[in-house]
Amino acid sequence: MSTKRSPEASVILLVEDQDLVRLMAVDILEDAGFVVVEARHADEAWSILHERSDIGVLFSDVDMPGSMNGVVLAERVYENWPDIRLVLTSGRHRFADHEVPDHGLFVPKPYAASQVIDAIQHAA
């Protein structure tokens, strides 16, 4: 049985279609000491996940262009890589943490740096 990777030792895959929001989130995460890989939408993230074995956390927006949204991406990640921690965010939708696949966490937009860092450190 696989175990969750420590977020401190993991690469974070950040999926956000809005450039300024993505840049801000990268700054937050890198300032907290995380290594970040960026994707502009779920399809790009899906390709990255197939190419890299060091992704430990998926931090994804829910609404974005492409063939799947952030919830579908999180479900597919959970099915294929159950050791990757899941954190979703949205300014349009609200989810309870139990609605995020694999007991992941939800952070509403607009978010503070501390909210994002806390969610990543505490995702199941």
Q: Which CATH class is domain 7-122?
A: alpha beta
Provide the whole-model pTM: 0.90
Coil, strand or helix at 59: strand
Q: What is the mean pLDDT of residues 57-84?
A: 95
Does the pLDDT of residue 54 top 90, yes or no? yes
**Helix intervals (H) in 17-109:** 19-31, 42-51, 70-80
Does the pLDDT of residue 6 top 70, yes or no? no
User: Strand pairing partners for 85?
Assistant: 57
Does the pLDDT of residue 97 top 90, yes or no? no
> What's the angle, vertex CA 66, arms to CA 63 and CA 69, rounded to 5?
35
pLDDT of residue 1: 37
